[in-house]
Structure 1
Amino acid sequence: MPGAPQVSATPLPARLRTAAARFLLPTVLAVSFAVQAVGAFLPSVPLLVASTAVGLAADIALHRWQRSMAAALGKLHATVFVRQVVRDLLMVAGLIRIEDQDYEKKYLALVCGLLVFYALHSACQALAILVRRTRTLPVVTRNIDASALRLSAAPPALLMSRSGQRLLLFGLPSAAGLVITAAGGSAWWAAAGIALSVACATVAVGMLATRLSRGRRPVTSEQALEWFEAWLAEYRPTVGMYFSGGTSSAYQANMWLEPLARLEGRPVIVLRERFMVKHIASTDIPIVCLPKVADLMRLEQSTLKTLIHPSNSGKTSQVLRIPTIKHAFVNHGESDKLSSCNPYAKAYDEVWVAGPAARERYALAAVGVDDRDVVEIGRPQLDAIEPYSGAPAGPYTTVLYAPTWEGWDGNPGNTSVVEAGENIVRALLADPRVRLLYKPHPLTGSVDPRAGAANTRIQEMIRAANAVRAAEHAAERPAPTAAAELARRTAELDALTTSSFRASADDAERMLVQTVPAPGRAAAVAAATAAWEAAYWASFPAWEHRIVVGARPNVYACFNRADLLVSDVSSVISDYLASEKPYAVANTSGLSEQDFRDTFPTVRAGVVLTPDAAGVPALLETVREPEKDPFAGARSELKQHLLGPSDPPSVVRFDEAARALCAAADGHRAGMALRALPVIPAQREAAATPDAEHARG
Structure 2
Amino acid sequence: MQPPPLLRYAAKVLPVAVLAASFAAQAAAAAVPHLALLITATATNLLAEASLHRWRPGQVSLLARIRADVMVRRLTCDFLLIVGLLRLGGNHRETVYLPLVLGLLLFYALHFAGHAAAIRVRGTRTLPLLTRNIDASALGITPAPPALLMRRHGPRLLLFGLPATAGLLVTAVSDEPEFAAAGIAVSAVLAAVSLGELVRCLVRRRPASPEEVLDWFDGWLADYRPTVGMYFSGGASSAYQANMWLDALAGLDGRPLIVLRERFMMQRIGATDIPIVCIPKVAQLLRLEQSALKLLIHPANSGKTSQILRIPSIKHAFVNHGESDKLSSCNPYAKAYDEVWVAGPAARERYALADVGIEDRDVVEIGRPQLAPITPYAGPPTGAYTTVLYAPTWEGWDGNPGNTSVVLAGENIVRALLADPGVRLLYKPHPMTGSVDPRAGAANDRIQALIHEANQGLTGPRPGPQAAAELARRTAELNALTASSFRDDADDAERMLVQGTPEPGRAAAVAAATAAWEAAHWASLPAAEHQIITAPQPALYSCFNKADLLISDVSSVVTDYLAGEKPYAVANTSDLPEELFRDAFPTVRAATILTPDAAGVAALLDSVRHPANDGLAAARAGLKLHLLGPSDPPSHARFGEAALGLCEVAEGHRVRMSSRLLPAIPAQRGALEEAEAAGEEQLEPAPEG
Query: Which residue matches 1:330?
Result: 319
Q: 1:621 — aligned with what?
A: 606
Residues 287, 507 of structure 1: alpha-carbon distance in 2 compared, 3 angstrom cutoff: closer
CA offset at residue 189 of structure 1? 1.1
1:196 corresponds to which of 165, 182, 186 = 186
User: 1:569 is matched with which residue?
Assistant: 554
Verify the 8 A CA contact 1:588 1:611 in the aligned structure 2.
yes
Q: By how many angstroms is 1:520 displaced?
A: 1.4
- Matching of residues 510-525 of structure 1 within 5 Å: 514-525=499-510
After the TM superposition, which of the residue ranges 485-494 and 391-400 deviates more from structure 2? Answer: 485-494
174-183 or 370-379, which moves further after superposition? 174-183
**Number of corresponding residues:** 663
Contact 1:143 1:513 in 2 (8 A): no
Asked if 1 retains the 8 angstrom alpha-carbon contact of 2:15 and 2:52, the reply is yes
1:182 aligned partner, one-letter code: A
RMSD, aligned CA: 1.8
1:341 aligns with 330
In the alignment, residue 149 of structure 2 is paired with which amino acid?
A: L
Which residue number corresponds to residue 691 of structure 1? none
After TM superposition, give the deviation of residue 511 of structure 1 in Å: 7.1
TM-score, with normalisation over the residues of structure 1? 0.92
Report what 1:57 is aligned to.
47
Out of 633, 638, 643, which is 1:653 matched to?
Answer: 638
1:632 pairs with 590, 610, 617, which one? 617
Counterpart in the other structure of 2:420:
431
1:387 aligns with 2:387: no
The one-letter amino acid of 2:32's match is L
Q: Distance in 2 between matches of 1:385 and 1:89?
A: 65
- 5+ long unaligned stretches in structure 2: 664-689
Deviations 1:343-398 (A, max 9, x none): 11111000000000000111111111110011000000000100001111211111
Instruction: Structure 1: state its 5+ residue gaps.
Output: 1-9, 679-697
Q: Distance between the aligned counterparts of 2:489 and 2:67, measured in 1?
A: 33
Deviation at 1:645, TM superposition (A): 0.3
Secondary structure in 2 matching 1:283: coil
**Normalising by structure 2, what TM-score?**
0.94
Which moves more between the two structures, 315-324 or 433-442? Answer: 433-442
Aligned twin of 2:397: 408
Following TM superposition, by how much is the alpha carbon of 1:508 offset from its aligned partner in structure 2, in angstroms? 8.4
State how far apart, in whole Å, the 1-side matches of 2:220 and 2:333 are: 33
Q: CA deviation at 1:675?
A: 1.3
Q: Does 1:548 align with 2:533?
A: yes
Q: Is the 8 A contact 1:142 1:288 kept in 2?
A: yes
Aligned partners of 1:586 and 1:608 also within 8 Å: yes
TM superposition shift of 1:477: 2.5
User: 1:242-297 deviations in whole A, cap 9, x for unaligned?
Assistant: 00000111110000001111011111100000010101011111100000001000
Equivalent-residue separation in structure 1 for 2:68 and 2:494 (angstroms): 25
Residue 447 (structure 1) aligned to one of 424, 433, 436: 436
Alpha-carbon shift at residue 486 of structure 1 (Å): 2.3
1:588 to 2:573 alignment: yes
Q: Which residue of 2 aligns with 1:236?
A: 225
Residue type of the alignment partner of 1:491: A
- Which secondary structure state, in structure 1, belongs to the residue aligned with residue 145 of structure 2? coil
Amino acid at match of 1:580: E
For 1:139, give the aligned amino acid: L
Aligned to 1:312, the other structure's residue is in SS state: coil
1:42-85 CA distances to partner (integer Å, 9 max, x unpaired)?
A: 22221111111111011100110001111112222221111111
Contact 2:130 2:493 in 1 (8 A): no
Q: Deviations over 1:292-325 (max 9, x none)?
A: 0010001001010000000000000000000000
Q: Alpha-carbon deviation of 1:539?
A: 2.1
Counterparts of 1:511 and 1:232 in 2: how far apart (Å)?
Answer: 17
Pairwise CA distance, 1:428: 1.4
Assess, with a 3 A threshold, how the Cα gap between structure 1 residues 582 and 56 changes in structure 2: closer, same or farther. Answer: same
Question: In the alignment, what sits opposite 2:677?
Answer: none
Instruction: Quote how far apart the aligned CAs of 1:513 are.
Output: 5.3
Instruction: Specify the SS of the correspondent of 1:275.
Output: helix
- Structure-2 separation of matches of 1:67 and 1:44: 32
Going from structure 1 to structure 2, the CA distance change for 1:501 and 1:625 (only over 3 Å counts) comes to farther
| Match in the other structure for 2:240 | 251
In 1, Cα distance between the equivalents of 2:466 and 2:598? 39
**Cα distance, 1:668–1:512 mapped onto 2, change above 3 Å:** same
Per the alignment, residue 20 of structure 1 pairs with 10
Aligned residue in 1 for 2:652: 667
Q: Which of these residues, 458, 483, 488, is aligned with residue 473 of structure 2?
A: 488
CA distance in 2, matches of 1:413, 1:628: 28
User: Are 1:126 and 2:116 counterparts?
Assistant: yes
Correspondence for 2:589: 604
Q: Which residue of 1 aligns with 2:666?
A: none
- Cα distance, 1:479 vs. partner? 2.2
- Structure-2 change in CA distance of 1:62 and 1:575 (3 Å): same
In structure 2, distance between residues paired with 1:409 and 1:512: 44
Cα distance, 1:523 vs. partner? 1.6
Q: Please give the alpha-carbon distance, in whole angstroms, between the structure 2 residues aligned to 1:483 and 1:512.
A: 37
Rounded to whole Å, the distance in 1 between the matches of 2:445 and 2:138 is 49
Residues 102 and 504 of structure 1: CA distance in aligned 2, closer, same or farther (over 3 Å):
closer
Q: Of 304, 318, 326, which residue of structure 1 is paired with 2:307?
A: 318
- How far off is 1:677 after superposition? 8.0
**2:351 equivalent in structure 1:** 362
Amino acid at match of 2:364: V
Asked whether the equivalents of residues 161 and 508 of structure 1 are also in contact (C-alpha less than 8 Å), the reply is: no
3-state SS of paired residue (1:450): helix
Identity of aligned residues (%): 68
Which moves more between the two structures, 439-448 or 397-406? 439-448
Q: Which residue of 1 aligns with 2:296?
A: 307
User: What one-letter code is carried by the residue in structure 1 that aligns with 2:40?
Assistant: A
Tell me, what secondary structure is at the counterpart of 1:541? coil
Deviates more, 1:369-378 or 1:115-124: 115-124
Residue in structure 1 matched with residue 267 of structure 2 by the alignment: 278
**Residue 378 (1) aligns with residue 367 (2):** yes
Q: Secondary structure at the match of 1:216?
A: coil
Alpha-carbon distance, 1:561 to partner: 0.6
Partner Cα distance (1:464, 1:513) in 2: 47
Cα contact 2:137–2:497 (8 A) shared by 1 = no
Check whether the contact 2:343–2:368 (CA below 8 A) recurs between aligned residues: yes
Q: Secondary structure at the match of 2:231?
A: strand
Q: Which residue of 2 aligns with 1:79?
A: 69
Confirm or deny: 8 A CA contact 1:151 1:504 kept in the other structure: no
Cα 1:327–1:611 shift into 2, 3 Å: same
Structure 2 residue corresponding to 1:32, chosen from 22, 28, 40: 22
Q: What is the deviation of 1:501?
A: 4.7
When structure 1 is superposed on structure 2, of 230-239 and 430-439 the one drifting more is 430-439
User: Are the structure 2 counterparts of residues 666 and 508 from structure 1 closer, same or farther at C-alpha, using a change threshold of 3 Å?
Assistant: closer
Contact kept? 2:164, 2:185, Cα under 8 Å: yes
What code does the residue aligned with 1:584 have?
Answer: A
SS of the aligned residue for 1:25 comes to: helix
Counterpart in 1 of 2:516?
A: 531
Match of 1:6 in 2: none
> 1:97 Cα deviation (Å)?
1.6
SS in 2 for 1:415: coil
Question: Structure 1 counterpart of 2:553, which letter?
Answer: D
**Corresponding residue of 1:179:** 169
Amino acid at match of 1:459: Q
SS of 1:171 mapped into structure 2: helix
